[in-house]
């Protein structure tokens, strides 16, 4: 990728200020296959200044102009769709079928949903004699993760552009190449100079400089709760808007009337999707105590059915985790599950048989997990499922809510009214009933330590808008 060692600032690919470089590693082989430049404070100054200059004119454009730009971005995205899927597969190890059908597809679906949202969005409305006007929040810093990279990039960049904001994107340095490709897509679509700027770099250097910069009006961050706390501290002195989608430890309640075979199998597969590297993964499976052993046996079969291997193998259903750091964390938490007395029902420490290179993790199922155990409380971010027995519906709700997180929850029941009733009592930003289809227009974000604010659809657009009331505007 010819622009990997450059940054996109003020509508042009430019050389970085410094000489720092970082290898991009293929997690399937543990070998570097590309290199990126790492930015510094000087690069941040250049990018923020470009965004600030561009805001003066771009903020005054009409919504219709910006919507037309989003349509051109969608066309340019589709022209390089296959390339996007291949890049993501290589840099995070996602099986190529998953990368094509989901990783790259989510970028397309967010753009399409945003266009639908903008068609009916009330940019202005009258409330008596007051005019309520939606205006861009300003210059925004966007900091995105490595696990669903283009999903989180598009669901921030696209609504920020539609709102009339200008921006600086810092993607994860672990999976940066899809962001470089996306910058090329935006350039081809004719995004005006300075509206979108891309810097690669690490969090302590580039990320921190963006979050504390006085000319940045808002930070939108997706990542760990630990990093989210630090970002909030950095942003506080300038009273920026801080929008955060953070960690999760989502409960999946299987009520006592479900088809257990189907519900457990789907729950295991959902937990293990993307090698378990999803913030909203259903990692705590709550099952009726009387059917615990039956559920465990089903989960063992479901785990055994997965084919672990390289991303480019058509038979692979689960690739590696993304890095050596992530591999070590998952292994440590698997060991802690064993040490704390959970029953290891499938998988366990080490690589799957026959895989000696690559950050591959054995699909792991723990049974008889108590709510106090580390594996029931910490976000593991790997293919590790905790099966937890409960006494009755009230106990299940209590266990589900007994977590510092509140990003997502899942409820399975043959009785839709019952599932809805339980869903309303769960302290989570998203609740999924009976494994529904993914909805790009549903609000996404969390309660408690899972963050604040919502993304996707109208909520994603509103996140980048200020509300002005012009009182006495008249009839």
Mark whether 230 is an active-site residue.
no
C-alpha separations of 215 from 55, 62, 139, 230, 249 in Å: 11, 23, 7, 19, 35
Inter-helix orientation angle 393-401/416-423, to 10°: 40
Question: CA-to-CA distance for 291 and 261, rounded, in angstroms?
Answer: 11
Cα radius of gyration rounded to whole Å, the chain: 23
Mark whether 83 is an active-site residue.
no
Q: What are phi and psi of 277, to 5 degrees?
A: -95, 60
By the 8 A CB rule, do 35 and 50 touch? no
98: left (phi over 0), alpha (psi -120 to 50) or beta: alpha
139 closest CA partner among 49, 236, 70, 64: 49
State the catalytic residue, choosing from 91, 173, 245, 462: 245
State the catalytic residue, choosing from 279, 379, 455, 462: 279
Q: Is 237 helix (H, G, I), strand (E, B) or coil?
A: helix
Q: What are phi and psi of 104, to 5 degrees?
A: -70, -35
By the 8 A CB rule, do 241 and 400 touch? no
Which positions are annotated as active-site residues? 245, 279
């Amino acid at each position: 990728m010819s622009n990997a060692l450059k940054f996109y600032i003020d509508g042009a690919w430019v050389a970085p200020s410094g000489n720092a470089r970082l290898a991009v590693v293929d997690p399937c082989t543990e070998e570097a296959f590309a290199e990126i430049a790492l930015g510094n404070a000087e690069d941040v100054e250049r990018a923020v200044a470009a965004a600030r200059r561009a805001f003066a004119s771009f903020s005054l454009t009409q919504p219709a102009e910006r919507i037309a730009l989003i349509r051109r971005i969608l066309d340019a995205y589709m022209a390089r769709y296959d390339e996007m899927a291949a890049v993501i597969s290589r840099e995070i190890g996602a099986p190529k079928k998953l990368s094509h059908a989901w990783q790259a597809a989510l970028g397309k679906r967010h753009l399409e949903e945003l266009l639908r949202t903008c068609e009916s969005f009330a940019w202005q409305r009258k409330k008596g004699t007051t005019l309520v006007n939606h205006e861009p929040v300003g210059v925004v810093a966007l900091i995105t993760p490595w696990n669903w990279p283009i999903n989180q990039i598009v669901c921030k960049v696209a609504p920020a552009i539609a709102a009339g904001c200008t921006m600086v994107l810092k993607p994860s340095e672990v999976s940066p190449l899809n962001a470089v490709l996306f910058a090329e897509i935006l350039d081809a679509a004719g995004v005006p100079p300075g509206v979108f700027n891309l810097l690669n770099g690490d969090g302590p250097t580039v990320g921190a400089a963006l979050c504390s910069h006085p000319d940045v009006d808002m930070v939108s961050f997706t990542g760990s709760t630990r990093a989210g706390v630090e970002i909030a501290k950095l942003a506080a002195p300038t009273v920026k808007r801080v929008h955060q989608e953070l960690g999760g430890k989502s409960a999946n309640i299987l009520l006592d009337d479900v088809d257990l075979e189907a519900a457990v199998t789907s729950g295991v597969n959902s937990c293990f999707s993307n090698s378990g590297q999803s913030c909203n993964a259903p990692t705590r499976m709550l099952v009726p105590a009387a059917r615990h052993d039956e559920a465990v046996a089903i989960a063992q079969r479901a785990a055994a059915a997965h084919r672990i291997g390289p991303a480019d193998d058509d038979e692979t259903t689960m690739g590696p985790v993304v890095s050596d750091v992530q591999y070590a964390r998952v292994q440590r938490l698997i060991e802690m599950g064993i040490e704390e007395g959970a029953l290891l029902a499938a998988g366990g420490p080490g690589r799957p048989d026959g895989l000696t290179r690559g950050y591959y993790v054995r699909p792991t199922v723990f049974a008889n997990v108590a709510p106090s155990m580390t594996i029931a409380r910490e976000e593991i971010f790997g293919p590790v499922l905790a099966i937890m027995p409960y006494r009755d519906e009230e106990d299940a709700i209590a266990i589900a809510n007994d977590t510092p997180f509140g990003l997502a929850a899942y409820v399975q029941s043959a009785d839709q009214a019952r599932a809805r009733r339980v869903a309303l009592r769960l302290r989570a930003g998203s609740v999924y009933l009976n494994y529904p289809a993914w909805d790009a227009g549903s609000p996404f974000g969390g309660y408690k330590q899972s963050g604040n604010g919502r993304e996707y659809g109208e909520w994603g657009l509103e996140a980048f808008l200020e509300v002005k009331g012009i009182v006495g505007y008249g009839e």
